[in-house]
Amino acid sequence: MTVPASLGVSADEVAESTDVYTLQNQDGLVVKVTNYGAIIMSILTRDRDGNLSDVTLGHRTPSEYIEAAEKPYFGAVVGRYGNRIAKGSFTLDGETHTLATNNGENHLHGGLTGFDKVVWTVKSATKQSIELTYVSHDQEEGYPGRLNLSVTYTLNDQNQLVIDYRGTTDKATHVNLTQHTYFNLAGEGNGTILDHEVMLNADYFTPVDAGSIPTGELRRVTETPFDFTSPKAIGRDINAENEQLSLGNGYDHNWVLNKGVIPDELALAAVVYDPATGRVLTVSTTEPGVQFYTGNFLSGNLTGKSGKAYVRRGGFCLETQHFPDSPNQPEFPSTILRPGEVYRSQTVFAFSAK
């Protein structure tokens, strides 16, 4: 999907009003963040021999994110609603709201100018942590309520990148933020992620229709290509004859995370291992779902920060989230935020090697 250059801020404005902030921990891991889109521009982690490589897809400067011919949400915070809302419409407290439709007839990732394409304010920045804030005005992209948001990235000395989201509103609205980093644990631009082994802590996923809107069913993964309950190479079943795989052009679905007794508690979502480098990414979240997306729409047209083309399936995303289209699916966990309540969400990306 391309967004007309006239929308949001221009590359010049971005160059003037944004900066790049570097976090570094005791072990030498590095995370670079810009306040354009609250984008994680790079994450340097160690392989099994201790070598550091950048394991995230992206660009060299904030303005390159806006100038790029394609904008696959590299590293960005996505919102006000991550993933799709059917027909760009929902009814809340009896009132129907119409959102931008930017994905066929549906609304995707917050609309034409989502939170990935706005300039955030840097509230505080230290050596290992940065807090970014953004005020989304009432009716922005059609959503009701003025939403005050904060996203904090903390790189701790346990080699975890902790992402904390917080929000308040002055009118009832829907909020579903996520982080859209594309990982390639072999290093960005180093081929596909098809050999990476993935474990998803989920016994069910939400099958979709032709527009990638969940049908409402929670389907067991057992004996389907969607079974990642034991570690499995991404490429093993990705080309299997399967209706859901053809609808998603590969994996581009929401898995229903197995949660303990407390639904909002931080729990294991996924473990990804790259046999070639030994790098391991462990994802935990307070969210009920994760969109596992295998970079099916990367086409090789985009050239990344080290000059290498980003090929189809050259990166994967683990977008921790509430389920797509929850505003229209009362059976799904609710994404409603009301005045007086505080939206809180946490996701932890932990890096190791074996």
Q: Which residues are catalytic?
A: 180, 319
Stretch of 127-135, 161-169, 266-274, 289-297 contacting ligand GLA, by CB under 6 A = 289-297
Q: Does 101 bind ligand GLA (CB under 6 A)?
A: no
The residue (of 8 and 72) whose beta carbon lies closer to ligand GLA is: 72
Q: Does 291 bind ligand GLA (CB under 6 A)?
A: yes
Between residue 200 and residue 219, which ones bind ligand GLA under the rule CB under 6 A? 212
Q: Does 181 bind ligand GLA (CB under 6 A)?
A: no
Stretch of 12-20, 51-59, 90-98, 290-298 contacting ligand GLA, by CB under 6 A = 290-298
The residue (of 83 and 326) whose beta carbon lies closer to ligand GLA is: 83
Q: Does 152 bind ligand GLA (CB under 6 A)?
A: no
Peptide bond into 220 cis (omega under 30): no
Query: Residues 300-339: x/- map of binding to ligand GLA (CB under 6 A)?
Result: -----------------x-x--------------------
Of 45, 83, 102, 136, the one binding ligand GLA by CB under 6 A: 83
The residue (of 82 and 145) whose beta carbon lies closer to ligand GLA is: 82
Stretch of 39-47, 59-67, 291-299, 345-353 contacting ligand GLA, by CB under 6 A = 291-299
**Cβ-based neighbours of 236, under 8 Å, separated by 6 or more:** none
- Rounded to the nearest 10°, the torsion over CA 88, 92, 97, 100 is -30
Measure the CA–CA gap between 102 and 81, rounded to whole angstroms. Answer: 13
Q: How many residues bind ligand GLA (CB under 6 A)?
A: 11
Q: Does 102 bind ligand GLA (CB under 6 A)?
A: no
Q: Does 297 bind ligand GLA (CB under 6 A)?
A: yes
The least CB distance from residue 106 to ligand GLA, in Å, is 10
Q: Does 144 bind ligand GLA (CB under 6 A)?
A: no
The residue (of 168 and 206) whose beta carbon lies closer to ligand GLA is: 206
Residue nearest to ligand GLA (CB): 293
Measure the CA–CA gap between 13 and 65, rounded to whole angstroms. Answer: 13
Q: Does 73 bind ligand GLA (CB under 6 A)?
A: yes
The residue (of 146 and 312) whose beta carbon lies closer to ligand GLA is: 312
Question: Over the range 148-179, which residues count as b (16 or more CB within 10 Å of their CB) and which as e?
Answer: ebbbbbbbbeebbbbbbbbbbbebebbbbbbb
Between residue 266 and residue 285, which ones bind ligand GLA under the rule CB under 6 A? none
Q: Does 72 bind ligand GLA (CB under 6 A)?
A: yes
> Left (φ > 0), alpha (ψ -120 to 50) or beta: where does 245 sit?
alpha
Query: Residues 225-264: x/- map of binding to ligand GLA (CB under 6 A)?
Result: ---------------------------x------------
DSSP β-ladder status, 289-293 and 279-285: unpaired
Provide the binding-site residues for ligand GLA, judged by CB under 6 A: 72-73, 83, 108, 212, 252, 291, 293, 297, 317, 319
